[in-house]
A and B are shown apart, each in its own frame.
Chain A
Amino acid sequence: MYKWIHQFGSPKYFYDISLHLSKWVTIVCIVCFIGGLYGGLVLAPADYQQGDSFRIIYVHVPAAWMSLFIYVILATSGAISLIWHIKITDIIARVSAPIGASFTFLALSTGAIWGKPMWGTYWVWDARLTSELILLFLYLGYIALQSAFDDKRIAARAGAILALIGIINIPIIHYSVEWWSTLHQGPTITKLDKPSIHLTMLIPLILMVIAFKTFYIAIALIKTRSEILKYECNSSWVKKILGN
């Protein structure tokens, strides 16, 4: 395990693997995105209650899930880098934070647009919406911390601590709709009993979730490679790549 982590943490190894990985995740992302959009906007029937406005779900839910997922990545990378001092996880966390912030913004704004016709308001201060807004603040704080320190290692450590403290917000966001009475409805897919979305509506949603996840991986890989090149610009393998 330790050996594997260090091999994975080796910048050159990561760089080589990520080039192969990039190609595949990009293909999967594009295919799922087109399929999900077509399925969600054209094939899926209108909802019995919400009509066509429910189609916002196909961008809202994947964005919201990714906002949580990327924060877990930040905290996990933070823990790994605090324990093992691995450069690559610092980089992954640093480049992921703006992507996570953008997905959080997307979840909040599409949710507001969806809330207006259905709930009758853009925004309410219920537990779900408030905790998701706090997530956006956590991301912005993390990004600000990264630019506050010139020493990247101190910045990574400070960011790791913030990410680990903020991780408490993730279960709060997820369970807020069950723990407290909220205007936001309960979970549709992640609950354990019968799924409460019709199959024709569910399949495009799953495709969009995969598309958003692979989108994040693809963008994070591009950014991580750039950072690796900067870090390792004096090593021979980078010079060889740039020489071509």
Chain B
Amino acid sequence: MTPRRKRIFIVSFILIGISIAATLILTAFEENLMYFYSPTEIANGEAPKVRAFRIGGLVLTDSVKRNPNNLKVNFVLTDTINEIKVIYDGILPDLFREGQGIVANGKMKSDNIFVADQVLAKHDENYMPPEVAKALEDAGAQLPYQENKIVK
């Protein structure tokens, strides 16, 4: 291969690579720029009706009901304005707990029941030792993960 041929080959390789990357970005961002919808957005009909999408919110305290015989679980997801019931059958991430922000992927079954095929935990940007967290809680302060951070 002559050096000129080699250059043309490599430059076209780069161009193809960049166009693949650009297509990837556009398709990924088109659908996922907003990675998830909040319960209020769903209530307002902004979320897809038929297609699968993601829903994000806080797990309502005392709403988690686990089936003792299998992995089936259902809970209520809230953004403190609207609520949506989520049904899920699978392994939950370590961070899943009441009051925790989560993102679930799935479809609407009816007006306010969401069937999830994947549940991901969304942790916050706060880091502290357990003793500090406990001291804060004892002092009556709201822990970061109990704040309603996802609410717009």
Spell out A's residues near B (CB within 8 Å): 45-50, 53-54, 57, 117-121, 124-127, 130, 134, 137, 140-141, 144-145, 147-150, 180-183, 185-188, 191, 196-198, 200-201
Residue from B17, B36, B92, B133 within 8 A of A181 (CB atoms): B36
Within 8 A of A (CB), among B84-113: 91-96, 103
B97 to chain A, nearest CB (A): 9
Instruction: Give the number of residue pairs across the A-B interface with Cβ within 8 Å.
Output: 130
Q: List the one stretch of B44-52, B63-71, B120-128 in contact with chain A.
A: B120-128
State the majority secondary structure of interface residues on B. mixed
State the majority secondary structure of interface residues on A. loop
Closest to B6 in A: A148
Q: Are B7 and A185 in contact (CB under 8 A)?
A: no
Q: Are A120 and B128 in contact (CB under 8 A)?
A: no
Q: A72 vs B128: C-alpha distance in the bound complex, in angstroms?
A: 32
B105 to chain A, nearest CB (A): 9
Q: Are B32 and A127 in contact (CB under 8 A)?
A: yes
Top 6 A-B pairs, shortest CB-CB distance: A120-B93, A45-B129, A48-B133, A148-B10, A196-B126, A198-B128
Q: Are B118 and A181 in contact (CB under 8 A)?
A: no
Q: Are B95 and A50 in contact (CB under 8 A)?
A: yes
Interface residues on B, range: 35 or more
29 contacts between A and B (CB under 8 A): A47-B127, A47-B130, A48-B133, A48-B134, A49-B145, A54-B127, A57-B127, A118-B94, A119-B95, A120-B93, A120-B119, A120-B121, A121-B118, A121-B120, A127-B29, A127-B35, A137-B21, A144-B17, A145-B11, A147-B10, A148-B6, A150-B3, A180-B33, A180-B34, A181-B34, A181-B35, A181-B36, A183-B103, A183-B120
Q: A54 vs B123: C-alpha distance in the bound complex, in angstroms?
A: 11
Q: Are B124 and A185 in contact (CB under 8 A)?
A: yes
Q: A57 vs B125: C-alpha distance in the bound complex, in angstroms?
A: 11
User: B126 — which chain A residues lie within 8 A by C-beta?
Assistant: 188, 196-197
Q: Are B32 and A130 in contact (CB under 8 A)?
A: yes
Q: A126 vs B131: C-alpha distance in the bound complex, in angstroms?
A: 33
Q: A150 vs B92: C-alpha distance in the bound complex, in angstroms?
A: 54
Q: Are A118 and B93 in contact (CB under 8 A)?
A: yes
B28 to chain A, nearest CB (A): 5
